[in-house]
Structure 1
Amino acid sequence: MGQISAQNHIPHISKKTPWRSSIMNRLRRDKWLYLLLLPGLLYFVVFKYFPMWGILLAFQNYQPFTGFWKSEWVGLEHFRLFFENPEFYMLLRNTLLLSFYNLIFFFPAPIIFALLLNEVRQVFFKRTIQTMIYVPHFISMVIVASLTYVFLTTEGGTVNELIFQYTGDKIQFLSDPSWFRPIIILQTIWKECGWGTIIFLAALAAVDVEQYEAATIDGANRWRQTWHITLPAIRSTIVILLILRMGSVLDNGFEQIYLMLNPLNRSVGEVFDTYVYAMGITQGAFSYSTAVGLFKSVVGVILVLGANWLAKRFGQSGLY
């Protein structure tokens, strides 16, 4: 009987221990890799996940002198005030229009640049162009806004001086609301387009060269090779980046908009990011601004999940 009971217990132990021992062996084997992972993990825990408790401010009338736990809980009151605010529709329109223009003009720009660079055969010329279009990514947005002011201001601006020499007039680029969105889009393309090409150039490097050789033998020109070989090869990368882009539809970036904003173009330039700053920092409406930020985050999550679902419905590989 003792032998039978011992045999009955052996399989029971063997079913539980392998995965645990496998994890311990993996930790011991790759301990230095996990140690390198630790700083990045701590960064996300401390600066991304731990501050998420602050979203509770959106559901209470927070008073700094009263404290978090003693402030009055008001539920969805701040969301109601936000949706009933006449400025809500202006903020929503401005934010969505800027995101739409970025999606139409900026998102394809890195793809086009990557396709053009992929056709360059001179290595030195190719690397020189890559370096030139990468550099603006590392320039502060404050400097970009300053350069924009130097070029477009009516008081000695380079562009306006040239226009004045040929036409005798000057254009109010920085104060005319109709010029605000084009300037923002051009700034974004100039600053970030080169950096975005890195991902697509890496995807293009994985395309099998034999496919181009076979297409050449079949008589396909460069345009047909790009359409039938290159673009399908990087389709999954484009879809994933598009899904991620959908998560930032209501996030146009605070710094760029704030630096280019002035009282004359506020009607087309004020977005959720600058509104949160104005209400939360300058006016001290912490709970109200938190509600606005939470609204943005929820909409972003819904858009990412919806775009991922649509991508899978059309046979593409999504985020998960």
Structure 2
Amino acid sequence: MGPSDSSETERCQLNTNPSVSPASLTDPHAKTRLKKSSYLKRLGRGKYLLLLFLPTLLYYLLFKYVPMFGLVISFKNYNLFKGVWQSEWVGLKYYQLFWNNPDFFKLISNTIMLGIYRLVFGFTAPIVLALLLNEAKNALFKRFVQTVSYLPHFISNVVAVSMVLMFLSPSNGIVNHFIVWLGFEPINFMVMPNMFRPIYVISEIWQHVGWETIIYLAALTSIDPQLYEAAEMDGAGRWKRMLHITLPGITPAIVIILILNVGHVLDIGFEKVFLLYNPAVYETADIISTYVYRTGIGQGNYSYATAIDLFTGIVSLLFIYSANWFSRKVGETSLW
């Protein structure tokens, strides 16, 4: 803001607040007091909104920012009895230990592959469902599909995994019953390394596709209906209307969600993988988060596990920053 803009703001404040004298506007202390008074007034007007925001702020402070203090143990040979500050500094020892680990590339590749599978299929499935629902003419059918599709989101991962294991059971699972009915031998899916990724991704889509579709359905409501009417008068069919009106209309929402999902490529949900996998499928199922659990909690190597976790966080930050930079260069939508 230039000097002329600043003086214009001061004149407006003088006109709207007669108690402010022209001389006080030239006094730097008076300007500070005026800004503080204006800030306090805005704070007072929004006190109820700030009160509603308070639980979220406390959550992130207590469970996201305060625990960052513990990252210091990744540079120390942490001893539970000595405490954080009394433990010996070892620098980048545990980072080098992870990089020299024989399983390093397997863990990275498993995590990235599972993340890419989830990004490609799990990200596109809600978009497809939203577009299909948008084309549905029967309101009752549309509401029914929405309800059935987003209800699994409220099922805990423990229950969802239990259902998956029951469905795929080689003895009494519904999938193997169907396979036997077709005349084939039952298959034990859960001990086949090449089946773990499809099982995980399909269960993720089933559990979350309906909930994530809500975002795109909300974005669809912002599209002007007159655009569809004009396109229909020009002879555009459903496919062309969807391609040239619907998709461009929800592109900003798609880009923002894509950027956020790219940042979580390495941040695969630990709980579902941990509940689904077993030693027979470690070849494709063992990812960074499960390895951190086994080494950190199972073996008590807290410094080593923290170093791996911090390494994952830094790589995820680079991913989301690169995706945002690319989006800003190619299009006009970005997070910052």
TM-score (norm 2): 0.91
The reply to whether residue 247 of structure 1 matches residue 263 of structure 2 is: yes
Relative distance call for 1:70 and 1:110 in structure 2 (3 A) is same
Equivalent of 2:129 in 90, 107, 113: 113
1:213 is aligned to 229
Instruction: Report the Cα distance in structure 2 between the residues aligned to 1:128 and 1:156, rounded to whole angstroms.
Output: 30
Instruction: Report the Cα distance in structure 2 between the residues aligned to 1:260 and 1:194, rounded to whole angstroms.
Output: 22
Deviates more, 1:90-99 or 1:15-24: 15-24
1:169 is paired with a residue of what secondary structure?
coil
Equivalent of 2:111 in 83, 87, 95: 95
Instruction: Report the Cα distance in structure 2 between the residues aligned to 1:181 and 1:61, rounded to whole angstroms.
Output: 36
Relative distance call for 1:10 and 1:106 in structure 2 (3 A) is closer
2:154 is aligned to 138
Offset, 1:34: 1.4
2:15 is aligned to none
Offset, 1:7: 7.3
1:40 is aligned to 56
1:250 is paired with a residue of what secondary structure?
coil
Relative distance call for 1:284 and 1:200 in structure 2 (3 A) is same
1:278 is aligned to 294
Give 2:181's aligned amino acid: Q
Offset, 1:165: 2.9
1:107 is paired with a residue of what secondary structure?
helix
Give 2:118's aligned amino acid: N
Relative distance call for 1:239 and 1:7 in structure 2 (3 A) is closer
Equivalent of 1:17 in 11, 33, 37: 33
Give 2:333's aligned amino acid: S
Superposed structure 1 runs of 4+ greater than 6 Å apart: none
1:70 is paired with a residue of what secondary structure?
strand
Give 1:216's aligned amino acid: E
CA contact (8 A) 1:58 1:290 kept: yes
Offset, 1:221: 0.5
Relative distance call for 1:306 and 1:184 in structure 2 (3 A) is same
Offset, 1:154: 1.1
1:69 is paired with a residue of what secondary structure?
strand
1:290 is aligned to 306
Instruction: Report the Cα distance in structure 1 between the residues aligned to 2:128 and 2:267, rounded to whole angstroms.
Output: 24
Instruction: Report the Cα distance in structure 1 between the residues aligned to 2:331 and 2:179, rounded to whole angstroms.
Output: 51
Equivalent of 1:169 in 181, 185, 207: 185
CA contact (8 A) 2:24 2:31 kept: no
Instruction: Report the Cα distance in structure 2 between the residues aligned to 1:152 and 1:174, rounded to whole angstroms.
Output: 8
Instruction: Report the Cα distance in structure 2 between the residues aligned to 1:316 and 1:133, rounded to whole angstroms.
Output: 32
Give 2:197's aligned amino acid: R
CA contact (8 A) 1:239 1:316 kept: no
CA contact (8 A) 1:204 1:234 kept: yes
The reply to whether residue 237 of structure 1 matches residue 247 of structure 2 is: no
The reply to whether residue 148 of structure 1 matches residue 177 of structure 2 is: no
1:71 is paired with a residue of what secondary structure?
strand
Instruction: Report the Cα distance in structure 2 between the residues aligned to 1:122 and 1:158, rounded to whole angstroms.
Output: 31
Post-superposition Cα deviations, 1:96-136, rounded to whole Å, max 9, x if no partner, equal 11111112111100000000111112222211111100100
Relative distance call for 1:65 and 1:212 in structure 2 (3 A) is same
The reply to whether residue 306 of structure 1 matches residue 322 of structure 2 is: yes
2:190 is paired with a residue of what secondary structure?
coil
Relative distance call for 1:10 and 1:237 in structure 2 (3 A) is closer
The reply to whether residue 191 of structure 1 matches residue 191 of structure 2 is: no
Post-superposition Cα deviations, 1:260-306, rounded to whole Å, max 9, x if no partner, equal 11111011100011111101111000000000100110011111111
- Unaligned 5+ runs, structure 1: 1-5
Instruction: Report the Cα distance in structure 2 between the residues aligned to 1:239 and 1:251, rounded to whole angstroms.
Output: 19
Q: State percent identity of aligned pairs.
A: 46
Offset, 1:9: 5.5
- Unaligned 5+ runs, structure 2: 1-20
Relative distance call for 1:239 and 1:168 in structure 2 (3 A) is closer
Equivalent of 1:79 in 79, 92, 95: 95
Post-superposition Cα deviations, 1:183-206, rounded to whole Å, max 9, x if no partner, equal 001000000111100100000010
Equivalent of 2:44 in 16, 23, 28: 28
Aligned pairs, number: 315
Offset, 1:162: 2.2
CA contact (8 A) 2:216 2:250 kept: yes
Instruction: Report the Cα distance in structure 1 between the residues aligned to 2:112 and 2:299, rounded to whole angstroms.
Output: 25
Offset, 1:8: 5.9
Give 1:175's aligned amino acid: V
Instruction: Report the Cα distance in structure 2 between the residues aligned to 1:304 and 1:207, rounded to whole angstroms.
Output: 28
1:3 is aligned to none
